[in-house]
Structure 1
Amino acid sequence: MTHTKRPIRIANCSGAACDPGQHMYNQAKCGPVDVITGDYLAEMNLATNAEETAKGTHPGWIPTALDGLQQTLDIANEKRIKIIINGGGLNPKGLAEKTLEMVVKEKSLNLKIAYVDGDNLLPRVNSILKKIKSGEYGHLDTTNSDITLAEDSNAFIDDPEGMPIVCANAYLGYRAIKKGLDEGADIIICGRVADASPVIGAAAWWYGWNEVDYDALAGSLIAGHLIECSTYITGANFAGAYKYPVQELMNLGLPIVEIESSGECVVTKHEGLNGMVTADTVKCQLLYELQGNIYLNSDVKADIAKIKVEQEMTNKVRVSGVKGYPPPATTKLAVFYRAGYQSEILINATGYATDHKWDYQEAQVRSKLDEWGVKLDVLDFQRVGVPKENPDSQLSSTTYLRIFCQDRNAVNLGKVAAAWAWNGMAHFAGMHGTLDMRTAMPKPFLGFYPATIPQSELEEAVNILGSDSKRIIVGSPRKTESIQPRENYTPTQPIPLEHFGTTVMRPLGDIALARSGDKGGNVNFGVYVQTAQQWDWLRSFMTHDQMKKLMGRDWKDWYYIERVEFPTIYAVHFVIYGPLGRGVSSSKLLDCLGKGFAEFIRAVHVPIPVRFLPRAQI
């Protein structure tokens, strides 16, 4: 396949619902781009707004997406920039019609509007649940018999009245987006498409790729993955940010990918916007929210085992080496349901004998609940922080206890605050807090179930609005492959650690950068180094057992670990199954998105070879 077209320049304008509309405007204003894409939907967004949308008290779309369109339509019309965003949320049709109204009635612009739908399977979810219950469909993680799901993961299936489903949205691919662009659409509003699908769709339209151009599609999938998270690749959530002055990290600009006809890309940004694009920022984002060396999309499988990340010049990083294969016949269906109620109480302790104070407080609450015969689904006492030795301020000597609890019965849950209050004046020395007990009041929470369903269950379509309105169903991929078990292996040709010479106990982060995040109930963690010699040490050192050891008291025997290597970028990647329970919406962890996990592991002291450390650190 030969193409003479220049690379398509695709700019990202959002990675979450909180990203302001000005980012879309800046990407259009500050330099040449062909397409602007935006990812507004974390897995929780749709569920959070579902019940309000059903009641008519929420529009269903993401307000910041509308704000971005309002600011950007004029300049997009002037520069002929295409815009593809998933900010339609639960109501892509509504946001598309609102956009059409702005384009036609308010601004008289020459822009054709379309929307993609077919992701909302709530009307048919009961029939899908029957197939999950029978075993015909299943949980995303149950393809591996070694994995144990969090307790009560399947409870909602047997209790549809007590734990009703609030939304069920499938992850759609690029084909409806590309079809809309082929039909002349300038702005395409999507609901729950996969994060990278707008980028794949734009590149496939630009070059005229078809469904079997797997290497090119896979390259654009990874390009989309790299820019989907807003400023995460221009300096934000970056393990190496401490090396930069704070001022250089203020008001970060968002990234751009220049995708070539082969699918290879160059990650960059507008020169006039703050931030940086380096091999390190790209590697960190690449390792974010992976599940091993195969990246799945409903249109293509991307094998990144031999991916290359190379700095070409300032703020330009080339990404290559991605191989593509036919997609799976299935896609993910994100099911959210009312799982019960949760609450938390925060209590502070200062200074001397803190461990004894927390032992005392926990015993008081537990004994009173036992006396009353109260048993909860979850009751967790989380000790946050360590008081500074010989403190120079009261705050530096203060830590807090987070009493976190969940139960299907709100009255039952309310007994926790009552148990704490019963002992309220019999507290340990110096107990204090905000005196705001609103977090202790039971509030409903949602459970999450990531199912896999056949793509044949979907009616993925693009809808063209205006005088030539039409609806085009794109159907399922013509060729698919079954999903193979994820790779999981010990170090390849490990080198005995004594080979690396004298060691000193230092934080792993002294020589390694890392990134972590959530995938359902799991935490993924990628860590990498800079040189071939460091790589020989890292891959030999970072075993399954070492990962467990680094997690310390956080490791549970029912968790499961997968491990793969990326030798071309000197990285080891782990998926730890289980720590987030049923996922972000119901996780008991303070770090419910797993974002802090990598920085925790980097802070753990390990025996690092002296030869790899600057003399000042020895």
Structure 2
Amino acid sequence: MTSLAKNHEKDPIDVLVGDWMSEANMTVRAGTKVNGQLDAYEPTFLEALEPALPYIYKYRIKVAVNAGAADTQKLHTAVKKMVQALGLDLSVAWISGDEVLPQLVDAQRRGESPFEDICTEENLEDWQFEPMYAQAYLGGLGIAKAFEMGADIVVCGRVSDASPVIGAAYWWHKWQRSDLDQLANAFVAGHLSECSSYSVGGNYTGFKDLEPLGWEKIGYPIVEIAHSGHVVVTKNKGSGGLVSVNTLTSQFLYEIQGPWYFNSDVTAILDDISFEHVSADRVALRGVRGALPPPTTKVGITAKPIYQAEMHWFMTGLDISAKGRMVETQIRTLLAPYISKFTHLSFQIIGSVPENPSNQNAATVDFRVIAQARKAEDLAPAKFARPCLDPIMCAYPGATPHLDLRQAFPKEIFEYYVTLIPQSAIHHRVHLGSGETIDVTPPLKTKVYSKNQPTHNDTTSAMGLETFGATVAAPLGTIVHARSGDKGSDCNVGFWVRYPDEYAWLQNLLSTSFMQDYLLGEEYKGGRVERFEFKGLKAVHFLLKDHLDRGVSCTSSVDFLGKNCAEFLRCRTVDVPLRFLARGRI
């Protein structure tokens, strides 16, 4: 925040926005709020804000963030004290209404909705866990109203990731709710910018091209939004990284779940989306259309905590699978008196040994034992850590347990449930620095959309793969970019290429059946797979329903954010046309 605000005279910005919320933050802060031991907002926001405040004041830059987590009012108080301590005349407002557990419980009791999990299709009454906190994703119009009423800084809890940008643009341009195309473009602009450096080269499969530009100082995206809704994405001057069609395609494909993109204020229709290179580090957004928002919004429900513990062993060299079977058998035998109290137990081999490894580290893999239980005492050291460690003298050749046993002690984790709640049930309010409170009404016009996104198992532009000429077996990622990420327990993954003929090949190669039967391999668990093509991006996108073992807050996977799913799929071997490889690898 300081680097952006301080450089205002050379690189002016009007509004600083920030997204501090993720499903991991939501669940952890919910637990903090309920146990009452600590303030349940995001303290790193205050760390970022304090040194930036003199420049925010000097240049009259507005600020809108969703760092309130589960304690927005307390964050508001902390920001006010910080502003006053610096002697700055800045008005601070806050947004409430995202905490919705009472409304959800009342509606469930009256039988108004089954509150179906949008990832698993489970009904809330069948969920095996007790809700303790629920947060709805609010839109951006409360932020817009706060700015309109003179607020300089607006702190929010769980507004949607893009809502600070939507709210800022709505206020600045004096838009109306009926300006759907403009709102939709601001919505997409918000998602292109809310993930910090991702649009500037972070988490990007073309990362090797960025090394000459400076891996150590990748910058931050800046979105320029016109009254017409026209969007150009750039970055802060003097920083490393890159804003390009490819970096923006990467961020876009990570965020979406299909061609319909929902927000409390608008639905973005993305069938015709594309990016246009304007000049160095300046890329225009094209083809986004707006439609009415849905009558509902997403709500994340956090359950009372369960507990998790894990133990690691190192295995080196030959016969890794057999070594794993041996120590698993021994550990299971010792766990037998306690295992009935576990809700989850798995044994995982992480990594593999290459042929003729050049050093010992290359020949070493991680054997991971992970268990979960409803009560901490069911994972007490005598019931988990000790049985996992005791086989040391009778296990496989080279048996070496990790001697840092901190992870083997039980820690709190939180089950998470994602459903929908009517916007009309939410009490969205703006709290101004003066003490005045303003209600934000839900949209009067909405549209009900199908539960599932449009999906096409195969391309409508069918061509035989043999028409692309001679091939060689190579990793998919030699010529194909990809990006993936979590949405609850769903995982979305998008693939895109550089040239039109490569796209024709990609469309025909990446069918739903090819994804399920080959690419995912043993990772495919039988869930629904939705597929959509984005011609303007030369991209094929998949939504893997319920793929991530319950989501980031409680998953047993080491890929807890789903971000390495794409990297796994890119290393899968396919038949790549030789003429594509002749152009060079990514």
Whether the 8 Å contact between 1:535 and 1:571 is mirrored in structure 2 is yes
| Aligned position for 1:600 | 568
Render the CA deviation track for 1:121-162: whole Å, top value 9, x for unaligned. 23444324436xx471423427xxxx665xxx857756xxxx
2:69 to 72, 84, 89: 89
Render the CA deviation track for 1:567-613: whole Å, top value 9, x for unaligned. 01100000001221221111111101100111111111111111111
How far residue 247 of structure 1 moved from its aligned partner, in angstroms, is 6.4
Q: Secondary structure at the match of 1:341?
A: strand
| Aligned position for 2:56 | 76
| C-alpha distance in 2 between matches for 1:246 and 1:391 | 30
| C-alpha distance in 2 between matches for 1:89 and 1:373 | 36
Q: 1:358 to 1:325 in 2, by over 3 A?
A: same
The question of 1:139 aligning with 2:106 is answered no
| Aligned position for 2:78 | 98
Q: 1:418 to 1:493 in 2, by over 3 A?
A: same
| C-alpha distance in 2 between matches for 1:512 and 1:501 | 18
| C-alpha distance in 2 between matches for 1:592 and 1:533 | 35
Whether the 8 Å contact between 1:29 and 1:75 is mirrored in structure 2 is no
2:12 to 9, 32, 37: 32
| C-alpha distance in 2 between matches for 1:234 and 1:452 | 32
Q: 1:615 to 1:320 in 2, by over 3 A?
A: closer
How far residue 410 of structure 1 moved from its aligned partner, in angstroms, is 3.7
How far residue 102 of structure 1 moved from its aligned partner, in angstroms, is 3.0
| C-alpha distance in 1 between matches for 2:180 and 2:230 | 12
2:242 to 276, 279, 294: 276
| C-alpha distance in 1 between matches for 2:61 and 2:80 | 16
Whether the 8 Å contact between 1:140 and 1:332 is mirrored in structure 2 is no
Whether the 8 Å contact between 1:494 and 1:540 is mirrored in structure 2 is yes
How far residue 371 of structure 1 moved from its aligned partner, in angstroms, is 6.8
Whether the 8 Å contact between 1:333 and 1:452 is mirrored in structure 2 is yes
| C-alpha distance in 2 between matches for 1:173 and 1:486 | 21
Q: Secondary structure at the match of 1:487?
A: coil
Between the two proteins, the alignment pairs up a number of residues equal to 580
| Aligned position for 1:550 | 519
| C-alpha distance in 1 between matches for 2:47 and 2:9 | 16
Q: Is 441-450 or 417-426 further displaced after alignment?
A: 417-426
Percentage of pairs with the same residue: 36
| Aligned position for 2:508 | 540
2:413 to 431, 445, 451: 445
The question of 1:66 aligning with 2:46 is answered yes
| Aligned position for 1:50 | 30
How far residue 29 of structure 1 moved from its aligned partner, in angstroms, is 7.1
Q: Secondary structure at the match of 2:366?
A: strand
Q: Secondary structure at the match of 1:40?
A: coil
| Aligned position for 2:490 | 522
| C-alpha distance in 2 between matches for 1:413 and 1:63 | 31
Point out where structure 2 has 5 or more consecutive residues left out of the alignment: none
Whether the 8 Å contact between 1:369 and 1:419 is mirrored in structure 2 is yes
Render the CA deviation track for 1:242-283: whole Å, top value 9, x for unaligned. 233276111221110011122221110122222211111010
Partner amino acid, structure 1, of 2:367: L
Q: Is 424-433 or 410-419 further displaced after alignment?
A: 410-419
Q: Secondary structure at the match of 2:495?
A: strand
Whether the 8 Å contact between 1:41 and 1:89 is mirrored in structure 2 is yes
Whether the 8 Å contact between 1:24 and 1:68 is mirrored in structure 2 is no
The question of 1:421 aligning with 2:389 is answered yes
The question of 1:486 aligning with 2:436 is answered no
The question of 1:249 aligning with 2:215 is answered yes
Whether the 8 Å contact between 2:392 and 2:399 is mirrored in structure 1 is no
Q: Secondary structure at the match of 2:491?
A: strand
Q: 1:57 to 1:26 in 2, by over 3 A?
A: farther
| C-alpha distance in 2 between matches for 1:360 and 1:155 | 41
| C-alpha distance in 1 between matches for 2:124 and 2:410 | 23
Whether the 8 Å contact between 1:177 and 1:201 is mirrored in structure 2 is yes
2:308 to 339, 342, 353: 342
| Aligned position for 1:237 | 203
Summarize the alignment of residues 281-296 of structure 1 with structure 2, pairs less than 5 Å apart: 281-296=247-262
Q: Is 419-428 or 477-486 further displaced after alignment?
A: 419-428
The question of 1:41 aligning with 2:8 is answered no
Partner amino acid, structure 1, of 2:67: G
How far residue 615 of structure 1 moved from its aligned partner, in angstroms, is 7.0
Partner amino acid, structure 2, of 1:52: T
Summarize the alignment of residues 208-223 of structure 1 with structure 2, pairs less than 5 Å apart: 208-223=174-189
Whether the 8 Å contact between 2:4 and 2:236 is mirrored in structure 1 is no
Q: Is 541-550 or 51-60 further displaced after alignment?
A: 51-60
Partner amino acid, structure 2, of 1:465: G
Partner amino acid, structure 2, of 1:67: E
TM-score by length of 2: 0.94
Q: CA RMSD in A?
A: 2.1
Whether the 8 Å contact between 1:36 and 1:83 is mirrored in structure 2 is yes
| C-alpha distance in 1 between matches for 2:313 and 2:88 | 57
Point out where structure 1 has 5 or more consecutive residues left out of the alignment: 1-12, 14-21
| Aligned position for 1:119 | 98
The question of 1:366 aligning with 2:366 is answered no
Q: Is 22-31 or 548-557 further displaced after alignment?
A: 22-31
Q: 1:247 to 1:530 in 2, by over 3 A?
A: closer
Q: Secondary structure at the match of 1:223?
A: helix
| C-alpha distance in 2 between matches for 1:110 and 1:218 | 34
Render the CA deviation track for 1:429-476: whole Å, top value 9, x for unaligned. 10113312221222221000011010011010111113xx31000111
Summarize the alignment of residues 356-395 of structure 1 with structure 2, pairs less than 5 Å apart: 356-370=322-336, 374=340, 376-395=342-361
Q: 1:140 to 1:479 in 2, by over 3 A?
A: farther
Whether the 8 Å contact between 2:34 and 2:132 is mirrored in structure 1 is no
TM-score by length of 1: 0.89
| C-alpha distance in 2 between matches for 1:507 and 1:189 | 46
The question of 1:182 aligning with 2:148 is answered yes
Q: 1:33 to 1:454 in 2, by over 3 A?
A: same
| C-alpha distance in 2 between matches for 1:25 and 1:61 | 23
| Aligned position for 1:108 | 87
| Aligned position for 2:553 | 585
Whether the 8 Å contact between 1:23 and 1:254 is mirrored in structure 2 is no
| C-alpha distance in 2 between matches for 1:229 and 1:616 | 30
Render the CA deviation track for 1:390-423: whole Å, top value 9, x for unaligned. 2222111110111112222444444343432343
Whether the 8 Å contact between 2:5 and 2:61 is mirrored in structure 1 is no
Q: Secondary structure at the match of 2:169?
A: helix
Render the CA deviation track for 1:352-409: whole Å, top value 9, x for unaligned. 2222111111222234444776363221111101123222221111101111122224
Q: 1:82 to 1:378 in 2, by over 3 A?
A: same
| Aligned position for 1:8 | none
The question of 1:263 aligning with 2:232 is answered no
1:302 to 256, 268, 286: 268
